Chains A and B, each alone.
Chain A
């Protein structure tokens, strides 16, 4: 799919050109802050100044929403597309959206939920179609580009406006502090002295289209580690599989560079180095941009892809700021300086909580690395389904015998029918619901699945509130890492992948409860593009202990031709 236009708003500037210029000149947005309203201890982050917020703010919108709106407005300003058209989809990539509202309080109760923010942003901008939120932890940005790519390739829309955004909050900062993942120094991706990441705030937007332009996203893939919900696989399993799936090894000689995730945590960078070696790509020039922007969470995958496209255009491999000496067991081709390259493609890698890893291959369109999607016709069919709500659990129309209700129903189902996975008790309510439902469903199907694609409306609202309760009291604040790791809805896909050893795609989308058409489009475009022949999908929402519901199915895909022969 082709890149029509883009924008980046970060503390380094309000356009892609300003941001690229700053990075090419070695300027960084990272700044040390002493203890302030966001943190009781010193930290380094890329934050907008008060003066910048003065320029960026929009009356009636939160900081997060204003940032996204301004980024989209700039990105579409030169395209001439009518965003009120029925053929334009708005995809928002974020991890925590307006989570800051939990602190300041607002109406209604769920005003911090990503879905509410997406609706307000879409309305302000004038989109006519329903917005879609990709909430896949740190890989959200690249996952959103992959979703957009497929929706256009499948003919569901002509244009996709894909915006990634996140702002810094006490919620996110305290969470990463509780995981001991932050460095109080400027981060040093892949370096021997690296001790952790820095967070950053930014918005980045990319408009994709089916009409040829200068640059294109050829292919993308998402693969799960099935290892741990917050630690990356030591063998780099998911990242390696994603690199293989996009055929990165086959085009290694055409690659100008690989833009790694490179958060500068011990584990992430080591994992990426191992994955790159396994894919035979450790000699390809590699860089990481976190030393300039920090880890911009929901924006990262889009922001770093846009900067990389510009670098490709300028025949430059950008420096890895903060890197000096190899700090991974496999040595990569990194440099603290900008380097020239006249090759015509790059790979963007990214990994995150929930075990997700994503990679995309981006190229100058003249390089003709384009892959055509299969024209083969296929059918999808649900083979088994389960419905669990606070009153009952029903598998393929048969109700389970249990007298428990509410959250006790889930514990009762676990004890009666599963009982061999004590980690169940550590899970947040959304994961408990997904775990129990998937266990009973996959048992009925008597086989595993290749991928997991789930939808809901309330994101991880219960886990968000539970975690916030451990932070909110300033004098008695003990941020709980065990609660924080569940404050993303895609963690449930990671729990199911881990339990069942599923290394295929895991994805979580936040949509309107009653909008089944976007759900159908996502599933159809996934089935069209993916090699998966079976997947677990459906609605799983846990707003509270009374109204939770899971409606999940196992879907089998078969090619029509094959069916005829049989």
Chain B
């Protein structure tokens, strides 16, 4: 899981162009949206693309993202439960 979390953080930093951040700057339990990283609706859609491209997880409904992208921990758990690659 630790390895997945680090890889996930690096993926997020890369696809969302969070150039000023390092994995250590992202709290595993902090909300990804709202405060925190200052992400917006386009970032949420980009994360949906990343989920499919990197982990083979296809979200049918973008609203599902709300629950899954709650925090790094929640996201990593979802990925490890549902990944197909």
C-alpha gap A116/B20 in the complex (Å):
39
Q: Which residue of B19, B42, B62 is within 8 Å of A482 (Cβ)?
A: B42
Is the Cβ of A482 less than 8 Å from the Cβ of B40?
Answer: no
Of B2-10, B44-52, B66-74, B77-85, the stretch lying at the interface with chain A is B44-52
Question: Given the interface contacts A178-B45, A179-B45, A180-B62, does A482 sit within 8 Å of B16 by beta carbon?
Answer: yes
**Which B residue's beta carbon lies closest to that of A267?**
B41
C-alpha gap A230/B45 in the complex (Å):
12
Chain A contributes a number of interface residues (CB within 8 A of B) equal to: 17
Q: Within 8 Å of chain A (Cβ to Cβ): is B38?
A: yes
- CB-defined contacts of A422 to chain B, threshold 8 Å: 18-20, 38
Is the Cβ of A426 less than 8 Å from the Cβ of B17?
Answer: yes
Q: Which residue of B17, B43, B45 is within 8 Å of A180 (Cβ)?
A: B45
**Across chains A and B, which 10 residue pairs bring their CB atoms closest together, nearest first?**
A481-B45, A425-B19, A425-B17, A482-B46, A478-B53, A426-B17, A180-B62, A478-B49, A482-B42, A481-B42
**Which A residue's beta carbon lies closest to that of B44?**
A481
Chain A residues 251 to 310 lying within 8 A of chain B, measured CB to CB, are none
- CB-defined contacts of A425 to chain B, threshold 8 Å: 17-20
Question: Given the interface contacts A228-B40, A230-B42, A231-B41, does A479 sit within 8 Å of B17 by beta carbon?
Answer: no
Most buried by A among B15, B41, B42, B43: B42
Q: Within 8 Å of chain B (Cβ to Cβ): is A485?
A: yes
Q: Within 8 Å of chain B (Cβ to Cβ): is A480?
A: yes
Is the Cβ of B43 less than 8 Å from the Cβ of A482?
Answer: yes
C-alpha gap A207/B15 in the complex (Å):
46
Chain A residues 209 to 230 lying within 8 A of chain B, measured CB to CB, are 228-230
Binding site for B on A (CB under 8 A): 178-180, 228-231, 422-423, 425-426, 478-482, 485
- CB-defined contacts of B15 to chain A, threshold 8 Å: 482
Binding site for A on B (CB under 8 A): 15-20, 38, 40-43, 45-46, 49, 52-53, 62
Tell me the minimal C-beta distance from A265 to chain B in angstroms.
12
- CB-defined contacts of A231 to chain B, threshold 8 Å: 40-41
- CB-defined contacts of A229 to chain B, threshold 8 Å: 42
Tell me the minimal C-beta distance from A448 to chain B in angstroms.
23
C-alpha gap A485/B44 in the complex (Å):
13
- CB-defined contacts of B45 to chain A, threshold 8 Å: 178-180, 481-482
Given A422-B20, A479-B49, A481-B42, 12 more A-B residue pairs with CB atoms under 8 Å apart are: A179-B42, A180-B62, A228-B40, A231-B40, A425-B18, A425-B20, A426-B16, A426-B17, A478-B49, A478-B52, A482-B15, A482-B46
C-alpha gap A180/B40 in the complex (Å):
15
Question: Given the interface contacts A422-B38, A485-B42, does A480 sit within 8 Å of B20 by beta carbon?
Answer: no
- CB-defined contacts of B42 to chain A, threshold 8 Å: 179, 229-230, 481-482, 485
Tell me the minimal C-beta distance from A183 to chain B in angstroms.
13
14 A–B contacts from the bound complex (CB under 8 Å): A178-B45, A178-B49, A179-B45, A229-B42, A231-B41, A425-B17, A425-B19, A478-B49, A480-B49, A481-B42, A481-B46, A482-B15, A482-B17, A485-B42
- CB-defined contacts of A479 to chain B, threshold 8 Å: 49
Q: Which residue of B40, B46, B62 is within 8 Å of A480 (Cβ)?
A: B46
Tell me the minimal C-beta distance from B15 to chain A in angstroms.
8
- CB-defined contacts of A485 to chain B, threshold 8 Å: 42
C-alpha gap A479/B46 in the complex (Å):
9
Tell me the minimal C-beta distance from A532 to chain B in angstroms.
29
**Which A residue's beta carbon lies closest to that of B50?**
A478
Most buried by B among A229, A230, A423, A426: A426
Tell me the minimal C-beta distance from A51 to chain B in angstroms.
36
- CB-defined contacts of A481 to chain B, threshold 8 Å: 42, 45-46, 49
C-alpha gap A481/B43 in the complex (Å):
8
Tell me the minimal C-beta distance from B37 to chain A in angstroms.
9
**Which B residue's beta carbon lies closest to that of A230?**
B42
C-alpha gap A449/B41 in the complex (Å):
28
- CB-defined contacts of B41 to chain A, threshold 8 Å: 228, 230-231
- CB-defined contacts of A230 to chain B, threshold 8 Å: 41-42
C-alpha gap A431/B19 in the complex (Å):
17
- CB-defined contacts of A426 to chain B, threshold 8 Å: 16-17
Most buried by B among A228, A231, A479, A482: A482
- CB-defined contacts of A178 to chain B, threshold 8 Å: 45, 49
- CB-defined contacts of A482 to chain B, threshold 8 Å: 15-17, 42-43, 45-46
C-alpha gap A180/B61 in the complex (Å):
9
- CB-defined contacts of B46 to chain A, threshold 8 Å: 480-482
Tell me the minimal C-beta distance from B25 to chain A in angstroms.
12
**Which A residue's beta carbon lies closest to that of B21?**
A422
- CB-defined contacts of A180 to chain B, threshold 8 Å: 45, 62
Tell me the minimal C-beta distance from A184 to chain B in angstroms.
12
Tell me the minimal C-beta distance from B74 to chain A in angstroms.
21
C-alpha gap A485/B62 in the complex (Å):
17
Most buried by A among B17, B19, B40, B45: B45
- CB-defined contacts of A228 to chain B, threshold 8 Å: 40-41
- CB-defined contacts of B49 to chain A, threshold 8 Å: 178, 478-481
**Which A residue's beta carbon lies closest to that of B63?**
A180
C-alpha gap A178/B19 in the complex (Å):
23
- CB-defined contacts of B19 to chain A, threshold 8 Å: 422, 425
Tell me the minimal C-beta distance from B27 to chain A in angstroms.
17
**Which B residue's beta carbon lies closest to that of A179?**
B45
- CB-defined contacts of B16 to chain A, threshold 8 Å: 426, 482
- CB-defined contacts of A179 to chain B, threshold 8 Å: 42, 45
Tell me the minimal C-beta distance from A310 to chain B in angstroms.
37
C-alpha gap A478/B17 in the complex (Å):
17
C-alpha gap A479/B52 in the complex (Å):
11
Tell me the minimal C-beta distance from B7 to chain A in angstroms.
18
**Which B residue's beta carbon lies closest to that of A423?**
B38
